[in-house]
Amino acid sequence: MAQLPSDNILLEVRGLKKHFPIRGGFLRRVVGQVKAVDGVDFYIKQGETLGLVGESGCGKSTTGRTILRLHEPTEGEVIFNDPKTGRVHIERLDAKELRRVRPNMQIIFQDPFSSLDPRMTVGRIVAEPLVINKIASGRELRRRVDELLTVVGLRSQHATRYPHAFSGGQRQRVGIARALALNPKLVICDEPVSALDVSVQAQVLNLLEDLQQQFDLTYLFVAHDLSVVKHISDRVAVMYVGQMVELAETRTLFATPKHPYTEALLAAIPKPDPRNRTRPLKLPGDVPSPANPPSGCYFHPRCPYAMDVCKVQRPPLRDLGNEHWVACHQAEHLQLRGVTRLADIPVISGSASSTNGSSDNATTGDSSTAATSADGGATTRSSERQN
Ligand code: SF4
């Protein structure tokens, strides 16, 4: 990646690769590589939200996990601006150093059902990071757990219950409380709402926005849904088969996409207003396998604008100006169709949650929790952010 802006950069990722070996034969020899992440560059500024979108299997979740070293990177650099020690190369840290840096970088997992231990009470789940890092014990630990549960819209009484007693939205709130326990700077949100009912997605998104402001958090927000990303992100990065193909400020990317794949993704967003409906662009073929990607530009077998050079030369990610990065040989010449009015993109579940009274505290029957009171107004805030 070329010159970085001088602003506060919290995380910088350079040429990150994560390849998984394919083993075969009697001796289980390595016979190939799944290139899940194949040379990704980006940075995240302090306090911003970078949305990372793409189809299932494009490597967006693997990117987030590799940044945290839940997967060991195959190649590349992950540089984190540690508030205490300055710039730290995450990929070079040994286990002890990594433990010291980890509290600053946390993750909210996609599936709130499998990411919480069903044998532990919610109180123990939220307390676990504090206990492991020897940050609190006894009365102070209980006070901190109560505080964290309240902050995410639950109640201190919920600490004695088990995850099965909660709805999906509430379980995700528990996951968020656990991620916040160590006062992180960076939170990787790995599709935090995609496993939830549509009616509670906006509530959790708005909670994340509120927490970001309250605790000065920085998010890498992974999602496959552009309308989700539009509501929460300051900038958006699009991935295709393990590579970054476009990255720009949210409004710019939606209004003037410069990569044909982004154009296809935008055209596929359902528009509720029949006067503003656009015909989806039909891309031929399927997403190629990351174990055997095409030559040149990975998108060329499906791209309606492909030229001969696209079949042999991989386009680098380059800045077209105003921090609009694109990996396409023809980026300057193509006139691609975007979304002219961001308001045309539906607000996730906004009206649903406010009109039918559905909320993510239904299972425990607590109509007075902060979760409920936060929901109606928060839906409006979400729609205001980008419109
Ligand atoms: Fe299409 Fe060529 Fe651009 Fe790839 S480089 S997106 S094939 S025009």
> Which residue ranges make up each domain of the chain?
1-346+360-387
Any idea which residue has 């909660």 for tokens?
166
Q: Which residue, 299, 225, 209, is CA-closest to 60?
A: 225
| Distance from the alpha carbon of residue 263 to the mean position of ligand 1, in angstroms | 12
Instruction: Kindly report, residue by residue over 21-59, the tens digit of the pLDDT.
Output: 999 888 889 899 999 999 999 999 999 999 999 988 899
pLDDT band at 375; cut points 50, 70, 90: very low
For residues 15-48, one letter each, b for 16 or more C-beta atoms within 10 angstroms of the residue's C-beta and e for the rest, the string is ebbbbbeeeeeeeeeeeebbbbbbbbbbbbbbbb
pLDDT of residue 85: 74
Q: Of residues 282 and 331, which shows the higher confidence score?
A: 331
Coil, helix or strand at residue 67: helix
Pocket of ligand 1 (CB under 6 A): 259-260, 297, 299-300, 303, 305-307, 310, 315, 328-330
How many alpha carbons lie under 13 Å from residue 194 in its C-beta half-sphere? 19
* Pocket test residue of 310, 325, 326, 335 for ligand 1, highest count of atoms within 8 A of CB: 310
Q: Which residue's CA lies nearest to atom 3 of ligand 1?
A: 328
- The Cα–Cα gap between 36 and 14 comes to 16
Any idea which residue has 């105003």 for tokens?
322
Counting Cβ atoms within 10 Å, is residue 346 exposed (0-12), middle (13-18) or buried (19+)?
middle
Instruction: Kindly report, residue by residue over 278-296, the tens digit of the pLDDT.
Output: 666 778 888 889 999 999 9
Contact by Cβ (8 Å): 27, 39: no
Report the chain's mean pLDDT, rounded to a whole number.
85
pLDDT of residue 364: 44
Instruction: Kindly report, residue by residue over 193-219, the tens digit of the pLDDT.
Output: 888 888 888 899 999 999 999 999 999
* Homologous superfamily assigned to 1-346+360-387: P-loop containing nucleotide triphosphate hydrolases (3.40.50.300)
Query: Token pair for residue 139?
Result: 């009365």
Q: Where in the chain does DSSP place strands (E)?
A: 9-24, 29-45, 49-53, 75-82, 86-89, 105-108, 186-190, 218-223, 235-240, 243-249, 318-319, 325-326
| Distance from the alpha carbon of residue 310 to the mean position of ligand 1, in angstroms | 6
